């Protein structure tokens, strides 16, 4: 529902009308509401500089569901619109066209993944980030599975990079077979992948036999596998460099 909310700038004597599409659902209880407007205020460098990137209005609302009655805040960015009014259209009139800015309330966190792993295996990085987010959000019934999926993307991704002609063969194989068959020459990576896969596979089973210590161990194994693969990729770069710059050639 479009509503006019008046706000006052510190450098302008008149209140300015903001055209705001009111939120229709309370973010706390999920009830359909026409919220109560408690307070509206601009925060910008001033009314006459409202074109700056920081031109914002903030409105405090209250839920009207009497079992909730909680407050919430929405920040809007606005465009100042000037139009002519009156019979002869002599008077100009400003209003603010407001568009809400979405808040997610998620605290950003650092995901430690070596740069070459992130660049070469972006899909792994996405899934691994989501697994970490799920763990942070205490989604303890699913984050084990998410780590398992991340592991699969890392191991298969690396196997495919080493044997690009075997894409469909590697993709069709169960993860355990890829670990056993495609990493025979890299026993340390193989051991890390195998151990994390054993634990992670348990996490996806109906009857979970998997506790906190296992999760911590699995995460540590995945992290170490990532570090080994990253180092292996860097060593490949070094070999390529030597080959290209060898003065004896």
Q: Which is nearer to Zn ion, 1 or 90 (CB)?
A: 1
Q: Which is nearer to Zn ion, 37 or 186 (CB)?
A: 37
Two tokens, residue 87 = 């019979």
Q: By CB under 5 A, tell whether 28 contacts Zn ion.
A: yes
Burial class (CB in 10 A: 0-12, 13-18, 19+), 113: buried
Look at phi and psi of residue 43 and say left if phi exceeds 0, alpha if psi is from -120 to 50, else beta: beta
Q: Which is nearer to Zn ion, 64 or 224 (CB)?
A: 64
Q: Which of 7, 20, 26, 229 binds Zn ion (CB under 5 A)?
A: 26
Q: By CB under 5 A, tell whether 142 contacts Zn ion.
A: no
Mapped onto helix, strand or coil, the DSSP state of residue 2 is strand
Min dist. Cβ of residue 28 to Zn ion (A): 4
Neighbours of 71 (CB within 10 A): 13
Q: Judged by CB under 5 A, which stretch of 1-9, 23-31, 134-142, 185-193 contacts Zn ion? A: 23-31
Mapped onto helix, strand or coil, the DSSP state of residue 64 is coil
Q: Which is nearer to Zn ion, 29 or 111 (CB)?
A: 29
Instruction: Give which of 32, 23, 46 is closest to 103, Cα–Cα.
Output: 23
Encoded one letter per residue, x for contact with Zn ion by CB under 5 A and - for no contact, window 31-70 reads: --------------------------------x-x--x--
Neighbours of 131 (CB within 10 A): 24
Min dist. Cβ of residue 71 to Zn ion (A): 10
Which H or E run contains 200?
Answer: helix 187-203
61 and 37 Cβ atoms separated by less than 8 Å: yes
Measure the CA–CA gap between 181 and 197, rounded to whole angstroms: 14
- Tell me how many residues contact Zn ion (CB under 5 A): 6
Q: By CB under 5 A, tell whether 230 contacts Zn ion.
A: no
Q: By CB under 5 A, tell whether 240 contacts Zn ion.
A: no
Min dist. Cβ of residue 95 to Zn ion (A): 29
Q: Judged by CB under 5 A, which stretch of 26-34, 77-85, 113-121, 166-174 contacts Zn ion? A: 26-34
Residues that bind Zn ion (CB under 5 A): 26, 28-29, 63, 65, 68
């Amino acid at each position: 529902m479009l509503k006019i909310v008046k706000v006052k700038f510190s450098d302008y004597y008149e209140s300015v009308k903001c055209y705001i599409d009111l939120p229709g659902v309370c973010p706390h209880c999920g009830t359909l509401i026409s919220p109560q407007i408690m307070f509206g205020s601009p925060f910008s460098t001033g009314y006459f500089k409202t074109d700056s990137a920081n031109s914002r209005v903030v409105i405090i609302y209250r839920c009207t569901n009497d079992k909730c009655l909680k407050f919430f805040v929405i920040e809007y960015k606005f465009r100042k619109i000037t139009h002519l009014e009156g019979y002869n259209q002599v008077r100009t009139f400003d209003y603010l066209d407001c568009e809400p800015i979405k808040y997610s309330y998620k605290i950003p966190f650092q995901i430690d993944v070596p740069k070459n792993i992130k660049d070469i295996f972006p899909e792994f990085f996405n899934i691994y980030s989501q697994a970490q987010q799920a763990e942070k959000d205490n989604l303890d019934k699913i984050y084990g599975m998410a780590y398992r999926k991340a592991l699969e993307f890392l191991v298969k991704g690396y196997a495919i990079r080493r044997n690009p002609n075997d894409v469909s063969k590697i993709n069709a194989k169960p993860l355990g077979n890829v670990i056993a068959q495609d990493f025979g020459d890299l026993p340390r990576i193989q051991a890390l992948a195998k151990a994390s896969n054993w634990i992670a596979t348990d996490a996806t089973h109906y009857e979970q036999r998997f506790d906190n210590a296992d999760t911590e161990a699995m995460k540590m194994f995945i992290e170490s596998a990532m570090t080994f693969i990253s180092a292996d990729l860097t060593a490949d770069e070094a070999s390529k460099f030597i080959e290209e710059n060898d003065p004896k050639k």
